[in-house]
Structure 1
Amino acid sequence: MKKNALLFCAYFLFCLKVMADCTINTAADFATCSGGIATIPAGTTVNLTADVTASNSITKLVIAGTLNFGSDLTLSLPANTQIEIVGAGTITNSGACNANKRIFIGGTSVASCNGNGVNYSFSELVANGGLRALSSDVSSNSPICQGGTLTLTATPSGGIEPYTFLWSKTLGSGSATFSSTTVQSPNVTGLQAGQHTFQVVVTDANGGGQSVTRTIQVTVNALPTTANAGGDQVGASTCGLTQVTLAGNTPAVGTGAWSVVSGTGGTFSNSTSPTSTFTGTAGSSYTLRWTISNSPCAASTDDVTITFNQNPTTANAGGDQVGASTCGLTQVTLEGNTPTVGTGSWIVVSGTGGTFSNSTSPTSTFTGTAGSSYTLRWTISNSPCVASTDDVTITFNQNPTTANAGGDQVGASTCGLTQVTLEGNTPAVGTGSWSVVSGTGGIFSDVSSPTSTFTGTAGSSYTLRWTISNSPCVASTDDVTITFNQNPTTASAGGDQVGASTCGLTQVTLEGNTPAVGTGSWSVVSGTGGTFSDVSSPTSTFTGTAGSSYTLRWTISNSPCVASTDDVTITFNQNPTTANAGGDQVGAGTCGLTQVTLEGNTPAVGTGAWSVVSGTGGTFSDASSPTSTFTGTAGSSYTL
């Protein structure tokens, strides 16, 4: 029987428990099954046509055939029942797939046809091979070091989500502080060094809830003793030495070792002894590290400085800088000697406000105040040994204040003037003096005053120089240009030419005045097409268009002064078109008429008008129309 059952399993590519506790061939078999495992055999379809409550004896439902929900029905299984779907086993439905076709376990809805509102859909149960028993793994980040944070993690599988967790510490000295005892992955702090055991109880949502308990052992390593390398040995006590005895602490936990962090050539008599001797090079400084290790925890380190001090090189501040070479300077390069032993530093012994670009450089630049004298000191130190010093004198002779003669006065502001006030700067250092560089006849009211008045000739230009001197340094100069500009001659464009004298003309001779100062120029202000024979001639001819009127402007300019202008009107008047009143209308064509159409010509130049020369009572329909109608009295004759 057992052999035949195994062959049957192999044929359908799955294996069932050979002797099932009960077989489900119809929906009614669920209620009568008395065994622990209920099996729907391969090739069997169990159709649910009503809600079904399974026997409490069932602990697992194995579906090798088909479980079909015919309508909105419920299959209720006992609490903690497992579902296993094997081979070609499946769960199907007839009609609409919805959330009302459900499987309950222990009163909890765990699956529905479409999966709405529950853990699984029918198709997900089939894909997962059913609903497996609850299980869980547990892990941690052990080992950790004392004072660190232990992270525990439970990884459940099977059963029905959601899962709940309950963590506790079961073995190990001291207490433990959980970030939470009811989360999947709590953090634990406050653990003492040593071995600790933790337990987690994982419960799922299957009916009354399945639970599994898992434990894990973790290791908390002790931290090494805090390292103390002893006090620095950098003082006068090491002057002339090349060997010292170190003063590290003895570890209670872990082992110690000395190392050189910085410095060249040093050696330890015993690198694992806290009181090893250390030998180095005269004049060298070393940083030594005492490390106490207890792997895998982080080592504890402490550094100590050992300096084998030397006496400094004798200082030489260089020669004094007090002569003409410092005129105009506020900065010099110093000439101290470079130390072989020790470091140099400049300070100001006397004098105010000086600064060094680099006080530790023997050739530092020194910046001071013009006109000041300083005593500087070059000190070579190799503390804690006695420093060596030397002094130098620096004097910054002053150049005179940079001359500024003020802005040029060449613009419109000098038009019509022969005297201006100068705008030189007042010297802070030195004395000032004005002189004439170019131009004739000018005089100063006070040559030593920066704001002296200067009188020159109208129409002349002068270059003046403001010189500030402070012997023996080179004088400073600046030039300014003064131009006494003249206003242009007042323009006169001549009389208007608008009368009968221009009738029939298209050209006239203009009558502008000749400038005594400046130059003249004609321009057309209004009117179209006019031209000048010579725009710069006051008596230029002007040619325009017959019948046009022009406004012409005669401008006399002498930049930068304001130009003078005058306008004249030129009108080229035209003779009117010769009038033609048309033929007399005195024949048979007027018999019986009192109205005729006139035949005057249309004017090319001017405007026409009809009038009655002789005759009584006649009227025109439009006196300005050459073809006006004329109405008179029958039997009357008119001269029009």
Structure 2
Amino acid sequence: WTLVSGQGNIQNPSSPTTAISNLGVGVNVFRWTVSNGPCAPVSQDEVSVSVFSNSVPSANAGPDQSLCTPVTSTTMAGSAITFPATGTWTLVSGTGTIASPNDPATSITGLGVGVNVFTWTVDNGPCGAPTSDQVTITVFDGSVPAADAGPDQEICVPTFPNTVTLAGSPVTFPGTGTWTLVSGTGTIVDPADPNTLVTGLTVGANVFSWTVNNGTCAAPTSDQVTILVYDQANPVANAGTDQDLCTPITSTNLQGSALTFPATGQWSLISGTATIADPTDPNTQITGLVVGTVVLEWTVDNGPCANGITSDQVAINIFNGNAQQADAGPDQEICSTTSSVVLAANGAVGLATASWSVVQGSGTFADATDESTTVTGLSVGENVFRWTIDNGACGLSFDEVSIFVFDASNPVANAGADQEL
């Protein structure tokens, strides 16, 4: 026996069954040479004694990895082996080309988007059964866009079902998307589906967030969508009752119909002068009013409901608190030969109205609302006429004038016959 390679102490080189000691880990090659004198040429044969290390660890395929396209290759990190132990990489699922299947640190190319699983198997000969471990190479699609929760939506209940289909941006596996409820109500049928149904929506604003996690390609991104649910029962616009004011009051509060969110209301000035404190408040204050009439309009927008947009107007009448009280003018005296008189009252100011009426006697007014009207049909005697000014919120006032009509046929003075006593 002779040592060809490796190491080992041959106890009895001439014995076919000699013991060998001090073998080294690896392959130790020994040659057996037989010399049979002149009978034949010398013959030789070699034998390999493989010594496996008992300290070789079980297979470890290394940590899972995540990649982002356009990167589609990586280097493996399988556990080291000590010759003559062997290790072998195999593809379990997915795609990928193994450059050197027996190299713990081989490169892998051609990885496809998705989950690619490889097994590292270590065979340590007689030291134990082969061991295996798997590693997952997850490849994310770098072209997946940032999260987009889709356009806001509006529905009306109970006109329409209180169910909507969301429209989140698509994701490519192994990227994931998740819907969550931010505020309001709603049951998400499938939180991982970009186009999931949402049920159980209630009147108001219901906000949902779509979060896309695309692994190593980028930090997770999120976007929100608002589903506005309008109430069909929200009343149509009502601007409230007209109001009468008297200066010095120059402000008031409006009385528009109430709103059920997300319905909105808007006050607008149609005519006159006024400053609207909060145009969206049904009960807003208005200031800066002047004598006259201010017309405002309350418009309610109830979204997609049947009574979508409705409007109503209200008038604010501001009367002049400094206006003169009614003055019917001076009394007059005429003779019955005169068929009419012209009255001389003061006129109404601003929004105030005025009219003549007969209190005593008789008379026909050419225009009962004209302070300087002509009166005919007067009777002999005292004819009393009342001039009334209605100044709205400032109050009523009246004054009376007497027209004395003397009888033209009344005899001239006659003192009677002289008398003697």
Normalising by the smaller structure, the TM-score range is 0.3 to 0.5
Larger Rg: 1
Q: Which has the higher strand share?
A: 2
Which one has more relative contact order, counting CA pairs under 8 Å at least 6 apart?
2
TM-score, normalized by length of structure 1?
0.30
TM-score normalised to structure 2 length? 0.42
